[in-house]
Structure 1
Amino acid sequence: MSETSRMGSGRVFPALPARPDPHTPFATSWWGNAWTDALEESALDQARLARGRTYAREGAVDTITVAPGRIVAYVHGSRPRPYRAEIRLRTMLPEHWDRFLDTVATDPAHIAALLDKEMPHALADAAARADVPLLPGAREMAPSCTCPDRGHPCKHAAALAYQTARLLDADPFVLLLLRGGEEQDLLDELAHRNARKSAVEAAEAAAAELRAARRKPRPAAIPPHGSDSMLPDDSDSMLPDGPVLPDGHTSPDSNTSPDSNTSPDSNTPPDAPAPQDHTAPHPHDGPVLPGVVAREALATEYRSPLPAPLPPPPHPGEPPALPSVPGAPDPTALEFLVTDAAARAHAYLMTGTDPFTATSPWHDAVRLAASHPGLTGRRTFSRQFAELARSVGSTAADLSRAAAAWRQGGEAGLTVLESPWDPPAGPFDRARGALVAADLPRMTIDRNHLTDAEGTLQLRYGRDGRWYPYVSEPGGGDWWPEGEADGDPVGALTGMTEA
């Protein structure tokens, strides 16, 4: 469970592995369990919670983006298109953060615990006493989802909440990020506060030592040299150290010899300054920094080759939830471009060529819409999706239908939607016989379309030899691509009815 990237004020975590054992808890830490307790206390339907736990254990939650005040992820349900689930949580005010950081800085054990990815009860209790809303309370979480279920929460948002408990279990800084605090910013501020605290304590200790020194009695003053008033009776005590020669002078080897610090050169004047020691460090010399010798860096000898590149991932990831910043581009519009760039880069890694060379602005808009299914439904459209449709002279409904066809089969699926044709009779005769043998509804023929008698199911035969399933309201004729394309008409029709 490693963090894959970091964007602005958010962290992106890869999809957590499945945990099929129903007896394995989602969290083992007390703060992770406090998160799930808040979720379950605010839920209005325990059945949806149970379904959300199943989704989470099966690994249906994709990449999770955690940002200040919200958690976002795509959750796979029973349909091919995933839903965008989100959980919002109030961020803390600046005064809350100030009190929280003061609480942590006053106890080194709190700092050590956070650095070890722990949140002790003592820290949470101290934060509660300081009126800091650290852990979420009942009904404080605000879940939402793009699915039609209006439950609180729906099973997709519940699955996201349970997977978030696993993130909190491993790193309590995820909870602090949800409350609006970046990990590095918090650690930097704690370091500043700890340094100020240490400086104050050092100044107080120095002042205490100075006061103690002033209280000590001062030693008696030493009389000046040559004064007779304080001479001791034993005059030998004033003699210089070292052996005394017959002429009354001390030995030249004595430590007090006047010539002991002078050069043996007799030409050196006695009052000349001592020679300078050039080996001593210069006061302006800085520390010796590590580096590489230039001739070694520019050498032309053979160096070992670079390691082989890593294999490409099986599929491009989902885009992160970008923050909404005043004056910045619309984050949802940026998600279009991020998703498109990821899809192009992945295709290029897999094939060595860019397969998304648009033949027209309409095709490019359809491809973009198909790569971001969370912004539209069959009859509900986001503002960004509607603007994309207007930019190519289309309606949001037509663009949504074309995007669904693109998801069925790419360029070939869009051609099936837009261009009826007259195929040879052989595939149709075999398809109708196979459908009857499988006890499926009888279908009427219209060009490359097979339609049931009620006008609700349809198979369209593509030029690529695959059958594309469509659905419509009874008698409405509003055909919509539904399900996966298949080379077998029975498989295409049964796959649509079972979806």
Structure 2
Amino acid sequence: MIARGFPAFPPAKRRPGHFARTWWGRAWIKAMEDSALDEQQLRQGRKYAYTGYVGSITVSPGRLAATVRDYEDDTSYQTVMRLEPLSDAEWRRFLDQIAVKAGHIAALLDRDMPAELVDAAGDAGVRLLPDIGDLDPECSCPGWEMPCRHAAALAYQVSWLLDADPFVLLLLRGKDEAELLGDLHGRSAPPATELAVDVFARRQQALPEPPPIPDGKPTVLSVPPAEGVDPEALELLATDAATRAREMLTGDVPDLARRPDAIRYAATYPAAEARLRSVEGLDRAVAAWRNGGEQGLRVLETSWQPPAASRARADDALAAVAEGSVIASRNHWTVGEVQLRLGRDERWYPYRDQGGEWWPVAPPQADVAAALIAVLA
């Protein structure tokens, strides 16, 4: 795994007016502070940051880590801050977008991150800077606050690293400087074979009208039997390819990685499930997709730490309707044999205990109490 280490910052001789001096460093701090409800933890985190209680910081894709010493009990705690890396598809869109403007690349090499570069990423559907709830803190300390003072101290010091080098953010998102520049080099435009004055002097030609988008379901391909060919499998693949192509022309279809796409395929075409038995956890994954689509699969396979405000609202709502104790852990709330999982889309995905495993049992709902009542009913 790609990782960079940074030595510990020495104690500051005076308290800085602001932890970050760049706009992107301040955006980082805002994402962390907006997710916190306990201002006392932030105040202590700022104190720990400028008095040198944070050890050396390690940055790797999706993860920041440091040992932070506590002022009160003089104990060292292992502190981590997570930020979800960009997917391969997001990286492709982002690099394609910035490769067309040399100024973006020059700014990065000059350790600058102009707002135009972030806007260009946004135009490609990629969010570079974190927003509220994107930073996921973990700490070995006994405190329950998110972030605790140790995680806050780490986040404040990372704003200094971002000030000095925006490639720290890009590494967190999944690529180090060498890999990113190598990918950009491969996107360089080929040399022109005509003079620009001749190209601009040429009369513009009208583009033909695009062909109409077919209505209805695609015609099923009829594949004759042949040695080494499975006609049914090939017919399903052709139908799926035509359906996906139509969806791409009419709406926003996510570019899925290999595993999610295999699960989508099995969930859409039941006849294909038997051919995909090599996919780990296929049955539960298919159930998750059929109930909640791609986001439902993410809720099954990954957990995250919701903002404190979201956790408090869920605790209050479930306390009013649940019979028995409610156990909350990260984005999972368990009530007896029912579990409700909060997705990053702010919807609640119901699960039920089946033989010691949690299985998706119903589509998501916007209200946690309604989701619980629907499953119990």
**Corresponding letter in the other structure for 2:6:** F
- For residues 58 and 6 of structure 2, what CA distance do their matches in structure 1 show? 6
- For residues 194 and 94 of structure 2, what CA distance do their matches in structure 1 show? 25
Matched with 1:202 is 192
Matched with 1:67 is 60
- For residues 74 and 30 of structure 1, what CA distance do their matches in structure 2 show? 27
SS state at 1:62 partner: coil
Could you tell me which of 14, 17, 42 is aligned with 2:10?
A: 17
Could you tell me which of 115, 118, 122 is aligned with 1:128?
A: 122
Q: Is 2:165 aligned against 1:171?
A: yes
Do the aligned partners of residues 20 and 54 (structure 1) sit closer, same or farther apart at CA in structure 2, a change above 3 Å counting?
farther
Count, aligned residues? 200
Q: Is 2:42 aligned against 1:52?
A: no
Instruction: Render the CA deviation track for 1:187-235: whole Å, top value 9, x for unaligned.
Output: 11111212xx0x1x423549969x99xxxxxxxxxxxxxxxxxxxxxxx
- 1:24 CA drift (Å): 3.1
- 1:97 CA drift (Å): 0.6
- For residues 83 and 123 of structure 1, what CA distance do their matches in structure 2 show? 37
Instruction: Render the CA deviation track for 1:285-324: whole Å, top value 9, x for unaligned.
Output: xxxxxxxxxxxxxxxxxxxxxxxxxxxxxxxxxxxxxxxx
- For residues 67 and 162 of structure 2, what CA distance do their matches in structure 1 show? 19
Q: Is 2:107 aligned against 1:81?
A: no
Matched with 1:401 is none
- For residues 11 and 94 of structure 2, what CA distance do their matches in structure 1 show? 35
Do the aligned partners of residues 95 and 121 (structure 1) sit closer, same or farther apart at CA in structure 2, a change above 3 Å counting?
same
- For residues 146 and 185 of structure 2, what CA distance do their matches in structure 1 show? 41
Give identity over the alignment, percent: 48
- For residues 181 and 84 of structure 1, what CA distance do their matches in structure 2 show? 24
Matched with 1:398 is none
- For residues 13 and 42 of structure 2, what CA distance do their matches in structure 1 show? 16
Matched with 1:219 is none
Root-mean-square deviation over aligned CA pairs: 2.0
**Corresponding letter in the other structure for 2:181:** L
- For residues 8 and 133 of structure 2, what CA distance do their matches in structure 1 show? 26
- For residues 165 and 194 of structure 2, what CA distance do their matches in structure 1 show? 37
- For residues 172 and 23 of structure 1, what CA distance do their matches in structure 2 show? 21
Instruction: Render the CA deviation track for 1:45-103: whole Å, top value 9, x for unaligned.
Output: 01100000000010100010000001000001133431000001111011111111112
- For residues 37 and 206 of structure 1, what CA distance do their matches in structure 2 show? 46
Aligned residue runs from structure 1 range 435-454, under 5 A: none
- 1:37 CA drift (Å): 0.6
- For residues 42 and 131 of structure 1, what CA distance do their matches in structure 2 show? 23
SS state at 1:114 partner: helix
**Corresponding letter in the other structure for 2:138:** S
- For residues 12 and 126 of structure 2, what CA distance do their matches in structure 1 show? 34
Matched with 1:34 is 27
Could you tell me which of 123, 138, 148 is aligned with 1:154?
A: 148
SS state at 1:104 partner: helix
Matched with 1:103 is 97
- Is there any run of 5+ residues in structure 1 with no aligned partner, and where? 1-7, 213-499
- For residues 193 and 3 of structure 2, what CA distance do their matches in structure 1 show? 40
SS state at 2:59 partner: strand
**Corresponding letter in the other structure for 1:145:** C
- 1:125 CA drift (Å): 1.0
- 1:20 CA drift (Å): 4.5
Matched with 1:118 is 112
**Corresponding letter in the other structure for 1:202:** A
Do the aligned partners of residues 207 and 43 (structure 1) sit closer, same or farther apart at CA in structure 2, a change above 3 Å counting?
same
Choose between structure 1 and 2 for higher RCO, CA contacts under 8 A separated by at least 6 residues.
2
Matched with 1:144 is 138
- 1:23 CA drift (Å): 3.8
Q: Is 2:173 aligned against 1:189?
A: no
- For residues 39 and 89 of structure 2, what CA distance do their matches in structure 1 show? 37
Q: Is 2:86 aligned against 1:92?
A: yes
Aligned residue runs from structure 1 range 146-295, under 5 A: 146-194=140-188, 197=189, 199=190, 201-205=191-195
SS state at 2:175 partner: coil
SS state at 1:149 partner: coil
- For residues 196 and 125 of structure 2, what CA distance do their matches in structure 1 show? 36
SS state at 1:65 partner: strand
Q: Indicate the structure with greater helix content.
A: 2
Where has structure 1 moved over 4 Å in runs of 4 or more?
A: 204-209
